[in-house]
Amino acid sequence: MQIVAPYLLFIGDATDELSIKMARGVADWRPELCIGEMKVEGCTVSTGLASTSIEEAAKQGAKTFVLGFANSGGILAEKWHPYIIKALEFGMDVVSGLHDKLTDVAELVEVANIHNRQLLDIRHPEGGFKTGTGAKRSGQRLLTVGTDCSVGKMYTSLSLEKSMKAKGLNVDFRATGQCGILIAGQGLAIDCIIADFISGATETLSPDNQDDHWDIIEGQGSLSHPAFAGVSTGLLHGSQPDAIVVCHALNRHHMRGLPHTSIPSIADTIALNLQAAKLTNPNVQLAGITVNTSSVSVEQGRIYCQGIAKEFGIPCVDPVRDGTDAIIDYLLHNQQIAGVVS
């Protein structure tokens, strides 16, 4: 699916920063695609963009009304229907990353049809997929993987894309989650694809390309997470990565949502992912490590990353605080990974 910019980001009455991560992600990485944000009474958080209304955003050329919030269960509350209808009436498509589908609400479908607008449920991929083949594809690929869920794989992927573009490289960010899809304007919500077809869908997402072209593929889940390892495995095999970057969150004490579990070590995560990746690319290499160090000061975070870099002999950075140029420099100087791009 294709999402048309510019966007109006609707964050409703959200009070939790994490609940607007979809809106926050696009505001952080593609602010040029946004007209502004819209909130209602009771909202205590912000993306940092200018506050506006549906009417004003439409006057400024907004093409898509984005439900930029999430809630427990991904429910599309009825209280948001009037805002969605108003946006449709003002000529905007509507995008949702919730589990509940816009297209399951008859009234919304009717209004969208009247105004010839799209209802885009980006968490629910459309169309058929084939099973993966593992056949070698041209072009080069980098996949972000993690010690756990929500450790910064999307932010790392976008930072890597930014660094590569700044160096004049031929590169694309391939989105695999609803927030990434909104940022990229296209992609596949890989965790909503039937398990047998995850690797095949990923092959479709990152097809044959020019030899000097890089796809930066957004990782999902973790091979060590009891709930989501299946998605991570299919994505890893379908990505056929030439390089992986391991992502970690400092001071995370257990796997997300599972207090009875422990976080795997970075060393174990590297070994596990390299071994699994070799099924479809025997020459896969580790290109770097990123750490979300937001739980400590900038100085403490950099000291931690320096220690990790020394331990593994590979660049380690916080992608938000420090960027990922060091990883790209390492990648391009590694002949086994970079090939014709070196």
Specify whether 101 is located in the same domain as 223: no
Our CA dihedral for 87, 126, 257, 244, rounded to 10 degrees, sits at: -110
What number is the average pLDDT over the span 140-162? Answer: 97
Specify whether 117 is located in the same domain as 146: no
Tell me, yes or no, whether 134 lies in a domain: no
Q: What is the CATH number of the domain that holds 294?
A: 3.40.50.300
The range of the structural domain enclosing residue 67 comes to 7-121
pLDDT tier for residue 317 given thresholds of 50, 70 and 90? very high
**Considering the entire predicted model, what is its pTM?**
0.89
What's the pLDDT at 86?
A: 98
Specify whether 170 is located in the same domain as 307: yes
Specify whether 174 is located in the same domain as 257: yes
Specify whether 212 is located in the same domain as 334: yes
Tokens of 210: 């020019």
Tally of CB atoms within 10 A around 5: 16
The tens digit of pLDDT for each residue in 220-238 reads 999 999 999 999 999 999 9
Domain count, the chain: 2
pLDDT tier for residue 123 given thresholds of 50, 70 and 90? confident
- Looking at the predicted structure, is the pLDDT value of residue 17 above 90? no
The tens digit of pLDDT for each residue in 196-222 reads 999 999 999 999 999 999 999 999 999
> 286 - beta bridge partners?
244
What's the pLDDT at 338?
A: 46
The tens digit of pLDDT for each residue in 102-113 reads 999 999 999 999
Q: Are 156 and 229 in contact (CB under 8 A)?
A: no
Specify whether 102 is located in the same domain as 146: no
Specify whether 90 is located in the same domain as 212: no
